[in-house]
Structure formats: structure tokens, C-alpha cells
Amino acid sequence: MKLIIAIIKPFKLDDVRDALNEINIQGMTITEVKGFGRQKGHTELYRGAEYVVDFLPKLKLEIAVDDAQADYVMETIAKAANTGKMGDGKIFVIELAEIMRIRTGEIGECAL
């Protein structure tokens, strides 16, 4: 089992969610986060004063999948979240040791 963590631009969430629904991936956790990579933030003008925005708003998606789905899910997210511009995000894949569904007590892939 794998945990896929994707950092994406907030306005791409609907595209990513729709793309994942099309491949029958239904469960995910979404967290609003801030960060920067090569983008290094930007400057904005507010009431005549210029200031630097160091950390940009992003969304962090966490999706648990079985091993066979991991590459396909990663490709689907990348395609749906891509704008072709700097700051599109990153995808991380982490090995999951175990999963348990709290309601039923199911363990392993059947808990996905």
C-alpha cells in the first residue's frame, strides 16, 4: 500500500478531484498549506505599499491506494494539476505499513 501526497495549486482541486473520481479513487484528505519551492514567492501591492509574499497558498492531498494503483493515480494527479507554469507542485509516494478502518476494524487493503 502507498500513501500519495500531492501539493497542488488551490484552483486545480476540482480538476484533480474529478480526474480521480473518473478512475474510481474516492477517498482523500485535503489540507490547506503554505510553502514555496523554486517560485520563491512574489511581491504584491496593497494600498500603495509593496510587500513580499514568501509562502504561497497550496493544497496538500493525501490518498491511500494499493500498490497496483499508485503509478496510475500519480499520473492522473500530475495531468490534472499541470498548468505548465512554475509552482504546479510535487507528488510524493510513501510506503504504508498498515491501514485500519476504525468503524469496522478492517485491516490492510480491504480498509482502503
Q: What is the pTM of this model?
A: 0.85
- Round to the nearest angstrom and report the end-to-end CA distance of the chain: 9
Q: DSSP secondary structure string, 8-76? A: E-GGGHHHHHHHHHHTT----EEEEEEE-STT--EEEEETTEEEEE-SEEEEEEEEEE-GGGHHHHHHH
Predicted confidence at residue 35, as pLDDT, reads 83
User: What are the tens digits of pLDDT across the range 59-94?
Assistant: 999 999 999 999 999 999 999 999 998 889 999 999
Name all domains of the chain by residue range, CATH numbers in brackets.
2-111 (3.30.70.120)
User: What are the tens digits of pLDDT across the range 31-51?
Assistant: 999 887 776 666 666 677 766
Predicted confidence at residue 42, as pLDDT, reads 61
pLDDT-based confidence at residue 54 (cuts at 50, 70, 90): confident
